[in-house]
């Protein structure tokens, strides 16, 4: 009886001293309050439950959703919804728990993000957050966060400004400005097209003028007489009846029907 009880107790102790580290996380072993510097890999891990514990730290990408106001360069407050995609670097997980603890999101990630976001957005106008400058703002916030979290055990993958709520009056002004810019671009296209057409006509007219100049310069009296002789020869070879009126230089052809 005592043997069975002892075996049962040993079995319970062995089960209590086992844990499974799954994919996308690492285990950090704490023995007598001291963090072991080497993380535990995936799989079954055995430890002494009386002396140690195993803390599981996710190393997969985490999406942290934040809603906060952002200051703009002109002094406006812009409401925004932001996603922070970050992860804990596996080899540094023991260092994160030792220096920061389990609440690293509230202790480090969020404060660093709020500071970086405010510093970056204050350099941009409110309209920039609503246009093509958004990607540059996101990249700048990420880079500043990475600089502040250097060697802390975190990797910031992306900062995404998902929703930007501008003041109603500013939103209308931006839309009107964008519409005016599109109208100006359309007008510029029309003007460019008309300018190209005008250039084409000028070039065409210049070509006609040059051709006429060349022809006029080439029509010498000798050439005109030569062409007249050619015309007489062709007329004499024709079997049709015809009347030729000429001054000896240029022929004028008339058909008998025209005379009648």
Quote the DSSP letter at residue 74: T
Query: So what's the pLDDT on residue 191?
Result: 82
Helices (H), the chain: 2-16, 93-99, 104, 110-121, 134-148, 168-218, 221-236, 256-259
Residue 45, both tokens:
């891990």
CA distance 30 to 28: 7
**Per-residue pLDDT tens digits for 148-166:** 998 899 999 999 998 888 7
pTM of the model: 0.59
Selecting from 2.40.70.10, 3.10.20.30, 3.30.479.30, 3.30.530.20, what CATH number does the domain 62-171 have?
3.30.479.30
The alpha carbon dihedral of 141, 144, 148, 151 has a sign of positive
Q: Domain ranges in the chain?
A: 2-58, 62-171, 221-259
**Of 69-78, 150-159, 190-199, 250-259, the least confident:** 250-259
pLDDT-derived band at 172 (thresholds 50, 70, 90) equals low
Query: So what's the pLDDT on residue 82?
Result: 93
**Per-residue pLDDT tens digits for 63-101:** 999 999 888 888 888 888 999 999 999 999 999 999 998
Q: 250 near 237, Cβ under 8 Å?
A: no
């Amino acid at each position: 009886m005592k043997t069975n009880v002892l075996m049962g107790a040993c079995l319970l102790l062995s089960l209590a001293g086992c844990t499974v580290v799954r994919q996308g996380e690492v285990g950090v072993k704490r023995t007598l309050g001291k963090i072991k510097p080497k993380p535990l890999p995936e799989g079954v891990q055995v430890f002494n439950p009386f002396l140690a514990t195993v803390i599981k730290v996710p190393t997969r990408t985490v999406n942290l959703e934040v809603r906060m106001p952002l200051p703009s360069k002109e002094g406006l407050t812009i409401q925004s919804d932001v996603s922070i995609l970050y992860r804990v670097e596996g080899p540094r997980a023991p260092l994160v728990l030792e220096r920061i603890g389990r609440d690293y999101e509230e202790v480090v990630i969020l404060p660093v993000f709020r500071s970086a976001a405010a510093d970056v957005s204050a350099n941009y106008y409110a309209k920039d957050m609503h246009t093509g400058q958004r990607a540059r703002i996101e990249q700048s916030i990420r880079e500043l966060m990475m600089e502040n979290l250097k060697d802390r055990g975190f990797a910031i993958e992306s900062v995404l400004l998902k929703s930007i709520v501008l003041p109603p009056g500013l939103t209308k002004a931006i839309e009107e400005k964008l519409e005016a810019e599109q109208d100006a671009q359309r007008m510029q296209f029309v003007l460019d097209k008309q300018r190209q057409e005008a250039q084409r006509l000028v070039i065409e007219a210049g070509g006609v003028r040059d051709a006429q100049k060349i022809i006029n310069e080439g029509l010498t009296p000798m050439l005109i007489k030569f062409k007249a002789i050619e015309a007489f020869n062709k007329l004499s070879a024709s079997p049709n009846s015809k009347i030729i009126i000429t001054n000896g230089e240029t022929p004028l052809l008339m058909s008998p029907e025209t005379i009648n």
